[in-house]
Amino acid sequence: MPYDAPIRGFRGDGMITGFLALYIFMLAAFTGYEIIARVPVILHTPLMSGSNFVHGIVLVGAMVALGHATTPAEIAIGVIAVLLAAGNVAGGYVVTERMLEMFKSSKQSDKQ
């Protein structure tokens, strides 16, 4: 009964094992921390919204979860996951883009 296996939709081979995962966790955390530490206060609201958008990548996970769901309960939860994640990704993008669009220097606003 293959459908009882954990969802391995993303890969069959080359598993990310414990230590590899730790390395990736660690490096990603360092990267995130260092990059964000350079963002000036003036952009903190768009940054919050932008990082909100970035975790919208959860949508691809939700798609795989739904794609491998078989029982009605799983399908229902899967659909909810996809719906929520899609909302996260689209909303996060629109809001961030709208905010950033407004930031202009004197030069740019003169040109208009």
Partner 1 sequence: MTLPSYMSTVVDAVYFIAAVLFIWGLKRMSSPRTARRGIVWAGAGMAAAIMVTFLLPGLNNLGPMAIAIVVGVALSWWVGRRVAMTAMPQMVALFNGMGGGAAAAIGAVELIRFNRAFIAIPDTYPIRPEAWAAQTAVPLSAVELALAFLGVLIGAVSFTGSLIAFAKLQGWMDRRFVFPLQRFVNLAIFVIAVACAIIALIAGIEGHAFAWSLLIGFILLALVFGIAMTLPIGGADMPVVISMYNAFTGLAVAFEGFVLQNEAMIIAGMVVGAAGTLLTQLMAKAMNRSLANVLFGNFGGGGEAQEIAGAMKPIDASDAAVMMAYAERVAIVPGYGMAVAQAQHKIWEFAKLLIDRGVKVKFAIHPVAGRMPGHMNVLLAEAGVPYDLIADMDDINPEFSNIDVALVIGANDVVNPMAKTDPNSPIYGMPILDVASCKNVIVIKRGKGKGFAGIENALFYADNTRMLYGDGQAAANELIQGLKALDG
> Residues 53 to 92: which contact partner 1 by CB under 8 A?
53-71, 73-75, 77-92
Min dist. Cβ of residue 66 to a second copy (A) = 24
Instruction: Answer for the pair 95, 49: CB distance below 8 angstroms, yes or no.
Output: yes
Instruction: Answer for the pair 95, 83: CB distance below 8 angstroms, yes or no.
Output: no
Partner that binds at residue 81, options partner 1, a second copy, none, CB closer than 5 to 8 Å by kind: partner 1
Instruction: Answer for the pair 44, 31: CB distance below 8 angstroms, yes or no.
Output: no
Residues at the interface with a second copy (CB under 8 A): 13-20, 23-24, 27-28, 30-31, 34-35, 38
Residue 82 CA to residue 35 CA, distance in Å, equals: 29
Binding of residue 111 to partner 1 (CB under 8 A) = no
